A and B are shown apart, each in its own frame.
Chain A
Amino acid sequence: NAGVTQTPKFRVLKTGQSMTLLCAQDMNHEYMYWYRQDPGMGLRLIHYSVGEGTTAKGEVPDGYNVSRLKKQNFLLGLESAAPSQTSVYFCASSYLPGLGANEQFFGPGTRLTVL
């Protein structure tokens, strides 16, 4: 099993450009998450999904959109990148509540730089 995978691993954008980060999991998890990691701030939740076709806002959703068209994939989009979105982005997934839902499995991360 590959677990949680993310593409790309690195990306450099210019201000105003758009891009999509792809997350895939092969553990049949219902729940998926996107976080950003910034120095001294830990991980902050951007958006999450509790099942195929559903998404919800997290702590810092502005400037991002997401889609969960297939259970195994969770896409994070930046429509018009800004330097403040320079960060490391992590995707995670977990089981349903009552089945250890709060144990999350993380991908290796995407390092994004916006110039």
Chain B
Amino acid sequence: GAGVSQSPSNKVTEKGKDVELRCDPISGHTALYWYRQSLGQGLEFLIYFQGNSAPDKSGLPSDRFSAERTGGSVSTLTIQRTQQEDSAVYLCASSLFGTNHNEQFFGPGTRLTVL
């Protein structure tokens, strides 16, 4: 079956512009996660959606970052007024909550470059 997909694969934007990153999780997966990896850094948790529960936004680095998950499926991560330090690979993952201790399946990522 289809895995997690993300679009675009690469995004180059100018400082101050808004960007939207999309994630299509595996069909039926109830949990969806956003992470980012900045150059030379580890994987940084951003936000977590589980079913109809309020999302865990504790990892969002600033109020310029927001995410939505519509209809319990597709998610969009929005970064407003992008800054150069937002440049990173943004990864999305999904899991079937309660299965195999929430093993996560990752998408290919979106490489964001802010000039």
Chain A partners chain B: no
- A residues at B contact (CB < 8 Å): none
